[in-house]
A and B are shown apart, each in its own frame.
Chain A
Amino acid sequence: MVDLKNLIEITKKIVSREDVRYVVGYKKGTYGFQIMPAFAYTPEDAEDFIYSPVCSKNLAVYTILEEKLPLKRGEEEDKRKIGVVVKGCDSRAIVQIIQEKGLKREDLVLIGIPCKGVIEPKKIEKMFPNQTDLIDVIENDNSEYIINIGGKTHKVPKNELLSDVCKSCEFPNPPLYDVLLGEEVEITEIEEFSKIDELDEKHTEDKWEYWKRHFERCIRCYACREACPLCYCKECMADTLNPQWIRRSVNLSENAAWNIMRAYHLAGRCVSCGECERVCPVNIPLMELNKKIERDVKKMFDYTSGLDEEEKPLFGMFKPDDPEDFIL
């Protein structure tokens, strides 16, 4: 378990450094099981910081979202560092961005947290619906979550609330950090991301029926894109008008094209944080697409994303003996 005092202390120390602009972390939300991202510009701001199993948001996204306004004459760019609180997958996302030269390692201070898995907000909301008060969730040593609601204590087995992607997480410990809070988590058992095989064995028509049902519901809000730490293109291909890769009308054809494009652009880059699926308002199982590609890439090219900053991106390199059994 992460020691809160330790987290706040370390954050304070980092914020008060001269070369650090701010630190991004989590703070309590306003109701229910919500949490909010917190930005600590001063040591006092860091008092709000928390870490609990409901902190599912991937904070790596804030390192790339920042708007850089044009400089006035004589003004100098603020080159101070940004601090981020990172779990295993968040850290991998940052490694991947550094690998693609989207960020510089020198510009970041990473507070690593060995992660025991996070709660899926959609699951906990279903189990305890319509909560108006702020609720604390604590994980104990017996793989149970202790949830206090209105004086009553609920004990819920971890497996019931754990996010699906966390169940099959291979890298709970951040591969890149400056400070690590707590001890590294040992990987005990990894469940296969089972839904893929199930669908993979089905007939082509059944696969299409399954995805058609989901794609038809897509409202193209692009929440999946906005929440993804790796969708950081200044101009997304979905937004360009010349050439217009996908039209803006919401129908099956364009929705399918968008979802194919989104999944494909994350090939060999997705770090399986599950953020896209978490924010989807119509519950499209986007992680199935991402996981499927991740598995294919692993099998065909023996490549895993977000582990080594020096490695070249998947589609930027090749091996002469890549599989080519599909070529006529």
Chain B
Amino acid sequence: MEEFEPNIIGFLCNWCSYAGADLAGTSRIQYPPNVKIIKVMCSGRVNPMYVVNALQQGADGVLIGGCHPGDCHYSRGNYLARRRIAVMKRLLEYIGIEPERVRMTWVSAAEGRKFAEVVEEITKDIKKIGPMKKIRRENIW
């Protein structure tokens, strides 16, 4: 049987995490290709419903990347995101969705290495718990 390859959606902020992922690429750091990156202007832009909708539509995990606290381009977006995702994560956990599926990380533009490590860890975790079946939408057209 083929090994399960998870689908991970990464919402990365334009100013730090996306640049960090870019750096990982330009410095030719190897990391799993499972993460599909969507650029958002700020981690505060990530509506927590994005997470639910991603899990419904085929993602096995969601990664949200923002600037380190205090470094946000819009000064407070990542702080707001931190609160929102913290509550959403706990709610999903309560409903019975594995907490490993929703992750958040701070990656600065200089941390290409850290980005690769984070992706590696998440991919490993999600491979362990298997594909997301619980709230998956059945009829995708």
Chain A residues in the interface with B (C-beta under 8 A): 199-200, 204-212, 237, 245, 247, 251-254, 256-257, 260-261, 263-264, 267-268, 289, 292-293, 296-297, 300-301, 314-316, 318, 320, 322-324, 326-328
Contact for B86 among A253, A260, A322, A328, CB less than 8 A: A322
Question: Complex formed: what's the CA distance from A254 to B140 in Å?
Answer: 13
A315, B84: Cβ atoms under 8 Å? yes
Given A204-B98, A293-B87, A318-B83, 17 more contacts at CB 8 Å?
Answer: A208-B134, A210-B96, A212-B134, A237-B49, A253-B56, A254-B56, A256-B135, A257-B52, A260-B52, A260-B91, A300-B86, A300-B87, A316-B80, A318-B76, A320-B79, A322-B79, A326-B86
* Residue B138, interface by CB 8 Å: yes
CB-defined contacts of B18 to chain A, threshold 8 Å: none
Nearest-neighbour CB distance to chain A for B4, whole angstroms, equals 18
Question: Complex formed: what's the CA distance from A193 to B85 in Å?
Answer: 24
Chain B residues in the interface with A (C-beta under 8 A): 48-49, 52-53, 56, 69-70, 76, 79-80, 82-99, 103-106, 118, 121-122, 134-138
Question: Complex formed: what's the CA distance from A261 to B97 in Å?
Answer: 15
CB-defined contacts of B104 to chain A, threshold 8 Å: 326-328
Contact for A208 among B82, B95, B99, B137, CB less than 8 A: B95
List 20 interface pairs A-B (beta carbons < 8 Å), by A numbering: A204-B97, A206-B96, A207-B96, A208-B97, A256-B134, A260-B91, A264-B88, A289-B95, A292-B90, A293-B87, A296-B91, A318-B76, A318-B79, A322-B83, A324-B86, A326-B104, A327-B104, A327-B105, A328-B104, A328-B118
Main secondary structure of the interface of B (DSSP, over half): helix
CB-defined contacts of A206 to chain B, threshold 8 Å: 96
Question: Complex formed: what's the CA distance from A205 to B129 in Å?
Answer: 12
Question: Complex formed: what's the CA distance from A316 to B105 in Å?
Answer: 21
Contact for B82 among A204, A212, A268, A327, CB less than 8 A: A327
A323, B48: Cβ atoms under 8 Å? no
Nearest-neighbour CB distance to chain A for B23, whole angstroms, equals 17
Question: Complex formed: what's the CA distance from A245 to B86 in Å?
Answer: 21
Question: Complex formed: what's the CA distance from A37 to B94 in Å?
Answer: 36
Q: Which residue of A lies closest to B88 (CB)?
A: A264
Nearest-neighbour CB distance to chain A for B120, whole angstroms, equals 11
Nearest-neighbour CB distance to chain B for A306, whole angstroms, equals 17
The A/B interface has a contact count, at CB < 8 Å, of 110
B82, A211: Cβ atoms under 8 Å? no
With A208-B97, A293-B91, A328-B118 already in contact, the answer to whether A257 and B56 are too (CB < 8 A) is yes
Q: Which residue of B lies closest to A256 (CB)?
A: B135
- Most chain B beta-carbon contacts within 10 A, residue among A199, A200, A260: A260
B95, A328: Cβ atoms under 8 Å? no
The 6 closest A-B pairs by CB, nearest first: A208-B96, A207-B96, A318-B79, A328-B105, A256-B135, A253-B137
Question: Complex formed: what's the CA distance from A273 to B94 in Å?
Answer: 21
CB-defined contacts of B70 to chain A, threshold 8 Å: 320
Q: Which residue of A lies closest to B95 (CB)?
A: A211
B83, A326: Cβ atoms under 8 Å? no
B135, A322: Cβ atoms under 8 Å? no
With A267-B87, A326-B86 already in contact, the answer to whether A320 and B69 are too (CB < 8 A) is yes
A253, B136: Cβ atoms under 8 Å? yes
Contact for A292 among B91, B105, B121, CB less than 8 A: B91
Question: Complex formed: what's the CA distance from A252 to B52 in Å?
Answer: 13
Nearest-neighbour CB distance to chain A for B50, whole angstroms, equals 9
A292, B69: Cβ atoms under 8 Å? no
Nearest-neighbour CB distance to chain A for B135, whole angstroms, equals 5
A296, B95: Cβ atoms under 8 Å? no
A327, B94: Cβ atoms under 8 Å? no
CB-defined contacts of A200 to chain B, threshold 8 Å: 94
B103, A328: Cβ atoms under 8 Å? yes
B96, A205: Cβ atoms under 8 Å? yes
CB-defined contacts of B79 to chain A, threshold 8 Å: 318, 320, 322
